[in-house]
Structure 1
Amino acid sequence: MTFIETRGNDGSKPSEVTFSQAILSPSASFGGLYVPKKLPSLDFDFLDAHTQSHYKDLCKALFEKFDVDIDEADLNAALDRYDAFDDPEDPVPLVKIEEDAFVSELWHGPTRAFKDMALQPFGYILSKLAEKRGEKYLIMAATSGDTGPATLETFKDAPSVKVACLYPDGGTSDVQRLQMVTEEAKNEKVIGIHGNFDDAQTALKNLLASESFKAKLRESHTQLSAANSVNFGRIIFQVIYHIHSYLQLVNRSEVSMGEAVYLVVPSGNFGNALGGYYAKKMGLPIEKILISSNINNILTDLITKGEYDLTCKSLVQTTSPAMDILKSSNVERVLFDKFGPERTKQLMDDLNEKGKYILSPEELEMLREDFDADFCSDEEGKAVIASYAKKGYIMDPHTATCLKAYENLRRKSLKTIIYSTAEWTKFSPTVCEALGHKAKRDLDALQWVSEHYNVPVPKMISELFEKPIIHDTVIDKEQIEEEILKFI
């Protein structure tokens, strides 16, 4: 499989690249992204053959379909990282919460968030590629709370790799921040910035595209790559769990093979939703992908009105901070798939230059063939948390946003997979308040919910509060390049 560019080719880069080239150097022409030239297809024979496959075996089969240039031994070693999840035999549990609704719990890895599903194997593959090439890499990550901890975890002490992780100071949960600032690995630097996630991600994209920054890195014999979902190495792993969750329903006789389902995806940067879209394109029987947002509902406006308008919005901090995003990078890959490189470049240029773009009625109709969207306020989300806690299921505030979309957007009586992107422990004060108790500290909230609802707090979370702060740098966004070069 080869990869092409969402905004077309500028003549300075190859017109097509391999998978390994796309993940090592993820910045494409005109500031665009890499996408597969052609997606593989999944027929029912393939799906039937894997209804009872272990998750790792399904991953291997999907990678064969994608036909990427990764050694089989390296892929196997990367997938072995799933053995460290809570249950190696079932790293992605599917939990029934309604007769027609199932929660795919993507957070059973080391940092208790769905980013582990992609970043644990991806980190191994990227560092192994760098090591084999005899090259050194700076991996940059911008985080709204979950990518950062997962990136630091997968690359800690990795040979040939250094990591610079940017997070918005005050824009993550305390647990997410502690997961980053207590990291002890010598090859990693965590940097807080005065600003929001969009500021951090914009800085990352600008540095990825900056020839002067890359030239300065080369003086230290260092190449530049990224761990955000601008990197397709993340996306390929995010396709797999959508297929796995569907096959779990088939295996349990909840649906028959070929019966369509809805997916409900809480969305910020749209990588999770993009994985579902690619799975649908490849042949997985998905009726629609229902996008759930918080009150930073720019995705709802895009999918229901065809408008992506930053000029009338300012980012609001919510109780679902991983979705506090206005610039959703992976929407671009859907635009490319629907409308081609020329129109995609035009739309993204409009967004960069005018702060907005508007789809034609025909384009909006094409987008709505696969997507619908709704958004959920903090108070609505807390009510959902309280309601399901009474039924014995504790969910985090991002997962809670999905229930409104589940209730309001389905036009057919079909089984529905809801994606849970984080364990409740990462947002315990919000969960605690939703359950009727205000805690002064995260640690108090964790203990209260655990005791009153008989749910465990994993050791990797409880231990955070005893670790020393290693990274206390907080800077203005204009200082990011200087701070990273100082680290290198």
Structure 2
Amino acid sequence: MTFIETRGNDGVKPAEVTFSQAILSPSASFGGLYVPKKLPTLDFDFFKAHSNSHYKELCKALFEKFDVDIAEVDLNAALDRYDAFDDPNDPVPLKKVEDDAFVSELWHGPTRAFKDMALQPFGYILSKLAEKRKEHYLIMAATSGDTGPATLETFKNASNVKVACLYPGGGTSDVQRLQMVTEEANNEKVIGINGDFDDAQTALKSLLASDSFKAKLQESNTQLSAANSVNFGRIIFQIIYHVHSYLELVKRGEISLGETVYLVVPSGNFGNALGGYYAKKMGLPVEKILISSNINNILTDLITKGEYDLTCKSLIQTTSPAMDILKSSNVERILFDKFGSSRTKQLMDDLAENGKYKLTHEELEILREDFDATFSSDEEGKEVIAEYAKKGYIMDPHTATCFKAYKNLRKKSLKTIIYSTAEWTKFSPTVCEALGREVERDLDALKWISEKFNVPVPKMIAELFEKPIVHKTVIDKEKIEEEILKFI
């Protein structure tokens, strides 16, 4: 399989690249992204053959379909990282919360967030590629809270790799921040910025596309890559759990093979939703993908009105901070798939120059064939957390946004898979407040919820509060490049 560019080719970069090239150097022409030239097809026989497969077996089968240039031994070793999840035999548990609703828990890895599903194996693969090529890479990550810890975890002490992780100061939960600033690996640098996630991501994209920055890195024999979902190495792993969750419903007899389902995805940077879209296009029987947002609801405006307008919005900090995003990178890959590279470049240029773009009526109808969207306020999310806690299920505030979409957007009575992107322990004060008790300290919230609802606090979370703060840097966004070069 080869990869092409969402905004067309500039005549300088190769017109097509391999998978390994796309993940090592993820910045495409004109600031665009890499996408598969053609997606593989998953037919009835494929789903039937893997209806009882272990998660790792399903991963291998899907990678075979993509036909990427990764050695089998390296892929196997990368997938073995799932063995360190809570239950190696079931790394992605599916919990029934209603007769027709099932929560796919994507957070049973080392950092308790769904980013581990992709970053744990992806980190191994990228590091191994760098090692085999005898090359050295700076991996950049901008995080709204979960990508950062997962990136640091997967690359810590990895050979031939250094990591620079950007996070918005004051824009993450305490647990998310502690997961980053207590990281002790010598090959990693964590940088807080005076700004929000969009500032961090804009800085990352700018540096990825900067020839002068790359030239300065080359002076230290270092090349540049990224761990955000702008990197397709993340996306390919985010397709797999959508297929797995569907097959789990078949395995349990909740649906028949071929029966369509709804997917409900809490969305910020749209990588999780994009994985579901690609799975649907490849053949997974999905009726529609329902996008849930918080009050930073730019995705709702796009999917319901065809408008992407940054000029009338300011980022609002919410109790679901991983979704506090206005510049949603992976929407570009959807636009390319629907409308082609020329139109995608035009829309992205409009966004860069005017802060907005608008789809035609016909384009909006095409987009809505696969998507619908809504958003929840913080208070609505807390009501959902309280409602399901009474039923014995504790969820985090990002997962809670999904239930409005589940209740209001479905046009058919179909089984529904809701994606839970983080464990409640990462946002315990918000969960505590939703359950009727206000606390100031994360430790107090964790203890109260754990005791009252008989749910454990994982060791890796409990230990954070005893670790020393290693990374204390918080700077203005204009100084990011200088700080990274000093680290290198």
- TM bucket normalised to smaller: over 0.9
Residue type of the alignment partner of 2:55: Y
Q: Provide the rounded CA distance (Å) in 2 between the counterparts of 1:11 and 1:100.
A: 51
Q: 1:98 matched to which residue of 2?
A: 98
Mapping of residues 240-251 of structure 1, within 5 Å: 240-251=240-251
Mapping of residues 317-466 of structure 1, within 5 Å: 317-466=317-466
Q: Provide the rounded CA distance (Å) in 2 between the counterparts of 1:22 and 1:399.
A: 31
Mapping of residues 244-263 of structure 1, within 5 Å: 244-263=244-263
Indicate the SS of the match to 1:8.
Answer: coil
Mapping of residues 54-203 of structure 1, within 5 Å: 54-203=54-203
Q: 1:291 matched to which residue of 2?
A: 291
Q: Provide the rounded CA distance (Å) in 2 between the counterparts of 1:241 and 1:415.
A: 17
Residue type of the alignment partner of 1:155: F
Q: 1:20 matched to which residue of 2?
A: 20
Residue type of the alignment partner of 1:234: R
Q: Which runs of 4+ in 1 moved over 4 A?
A: none
Indicate the SS of the match to 2:311.
Answer: coil
Q: Give the percent of matched residue pairs that are identical in Structure 1 and Structure 2.
A: 87
Residue type of the alignment partner of 2:398: H
Residue type of the alignment partner of 1:249: L
Q: 2:237 matched to which residue of 1?
A: 237
Q: Provide the rounded CA distance (Å) in 1 between the counterparts of 2:67 and 2:257.
A: 25
Residue type of the alignment partner of 2:210: S
**Residue 87 of structure 1, CA deviation:** 0.1
Q: Provide the rounded CA distance (Å) in 2 between the counterparts of 1:176 and 1:416.
A: 29
Indicate the SS of the match to 2:59.
Answer: helix
Q: Provide the rounded CA distance (Å) in 2 between the counterparts of 1:451 and 1:43.
A: 47
Indicate the SS of the match to 1:418.
Answer: strand
Q: Provide the rounded CA distance (Å) in 1 between the counterparts of 2:154 and 2:44.
A: 34
Mapping of residues 45-56 of structure 1, within 5 Å: 45-56=45-56
Indicate the SS of the match to 1:463.
Answer: helix
**Residue 107 of structure 1, CA deviation:** 0.1
Q: Provide the rounded CA distance (Å) in 1 between the counterparts of 2:408 and 2:476.
A: 41
Q: Provide the rounded CA distance (Å) in 2 between the counterparts of 1:223 and 1:80.
A: 27
Q: Provide the rounded CA distance (Å) in 2 between the counterparts of 1:44 and 1:83.
A: 29
Q: Provide the rounded CA distance (Å) in 2 between the counterparts of 1:280 and 1:369.
A: 12
Q: Provide the rounded CA distance (Å) in 2 between the counterparts of 1:88 and 1:439.
A: 35
Q: Provide the rounded CA distance (Å) in 1 between the counterparts of 2:465 and 2:165.
A: 21
Indicate the SS of the match to 1:20.
Answer: helix
Q: Provide the rounded CA distance (Å) in 1 between the counterparts of 2:258 and 2:355.
A: 42
Residue type of the alignment partner of 1:255: I
Q: Provide the rounded CA distance (Å) in 2 between the counterparts of 1:334 and 1:130.
A: 30
Mapping of residues 202-217 of structure 1, within 5 Å: 202-217=202-217
Q: 1:4 matched to which residue of 2?
A: 4
Q: Provide the rounded CA distance (Å) in 2 between the counterparts of 1:337 and 1:211.
A: 28
Q: Provide the rounded CA distance (Å) in 2 between the counterparts of 1:457 and 1:203.
A: 35
Indicate the SS of the match to 2:255.
Answer: coil
Q: Provide the rounded CA distance (Å) in 1 between the counterparts of 2:314 and 2:82.
A: 38
Q: Provide the rounded CA distance (Å) in 1 between the counterparts of 2:379 and 2:236.
A: 34
Residue type of the alignment partner of 2:187: N
Residue type of the alignment partner of 2:328: S
Residue type of the alignment partner of 1:104: S
Where structure 1 has 5 or more consecutive residues not aligned to the other structure, the ranges are none
**Residue 129 of structure 1, CA deviation:** 0.1
Indicate the SS of the match to 1:216.
Answer: helix
Indicate the SS of the match to 1:125.
Answer: helix
Q: Tell me the alpha carbon deviations over residues 194-228 of structure 1, each in whole angstroms, 9 at most, x when there is no partner.
A: 00000000000000000000000000000000000
Q: Provide the rounded CA distance (Å) in 2 between the counterparts of 1:359 and 1:214.
A: 35
Indicate the SS of the match to 1:287.
Answer: strand
Residue type of the alignment partner of 2:151: T
Residue type of the alignment partner of 2:393: Y
Q: Provide the rounded CA distance (Å) in 1 between the counterparts of 2:252 and 2:438.
A: 40
Q: Tell me the alpha carbon deviations over residues 338-383 of structure 1, each in whole angstroms, 9 at most, x when there is no partner.
A: 0000000000000000000000000000000000000000000000
Q: Provide the rounded CA distance (Å) in 1 between the counterparts of 2:315 and 2:451.
A: 35
Residue type of the alignment partner of 2:483: E
Q: Provide the rounded CA distance (Å) in 1 between the counterparts of 2:14 and 2:261.
A: 39
Residue type of the alignment partner of 1:151: T
Residue type of the alignment partner of 1:463: E
Mapping of residues 279-318 of structure 1, within 5 Å: 279-318=279-318
Q: Provide the rounded CA distance (Å) in 2 between the counterparts of 1:352 and 1:254.
A: 46
Residue type of the alignment partner of 2:143: T
**Residue 289 of structure 1, CA deviation:** 0.1
Q: Provide the rounded CA distance (Å) in 1 between the counterparts of 2:192 and 2:252.
A: 45
Q: Provide the rounded CA distance (Å) in 1 between the counterparts of 2:364 and 2:318.
A: 28
**Residue 151 of structure 1, CA deviation:** 0.1
Indicate the SS of the match to 2:102.
Answer: strand
Residue type of the alignment partner of 1:173: S
Q: Provide the rounded CA distance (Å) in 2 between the counterparts of 1:326 and 1:407.
A: 25
**Residue 440 of structure 1, CA deviation:** 1.4
Q: Provide the rounded CA distance (Å) in 1 between the counterparts of 2:174 and 2:139.
A: 24
**Residue 261 of structure 1, CA deviation:** 0.1
Q: Provide the rounded CA distance (Å) in 1 between the counterparts of 2:452 and 2:81.
A: 33
Q: Tell me the TM-score normalised to structure 1 length.
A: 1.00
Indicate the SS of the match to 1:140.
Answer: strand
Q: Provide the rounded CA distance (Å) in 1 between the counterparts of 2:479 and 2:2.
A: 37
Q: Provide the rounded CA distance (Å) in 2 between the counterparts of 1:88 and 1:393.
A: 22
Indicate the SS of the match to 1:290.
Answer: strand
Instruction: Indicate whether 1:268 and 2:268 are aligned.
Output: yes
Q: Tell me the alpha carbon deviations over residues 164-194 of structure 1, each in whole angstroms, 9 at most, x when there is no partner.
A: 0000000000000000000000000000000
Indicate the SS of the match to 1:480.
Answer: helix
**Residue 331 of structure 1, CA deviation:** 0.2
Counting matched residue pairs gives: 488
Indicate the SS of the match to 1:363.
Answer: helix
Q: Provide the rounded CA distance (Å) in 1 between the counterparts of 2:411 and 2:352.
A: 35
Indicate the SS of the match to 2:51.
Answer: coil
Q: Tell me the alpha carbon deviations over residues 400-437 of structure 1, each in whole angstroms, 9 at most, x when there is no partner.
A: 00000000000000000000000000000000000000
Q: 2:37 matched to which residue of 1?
A: 37
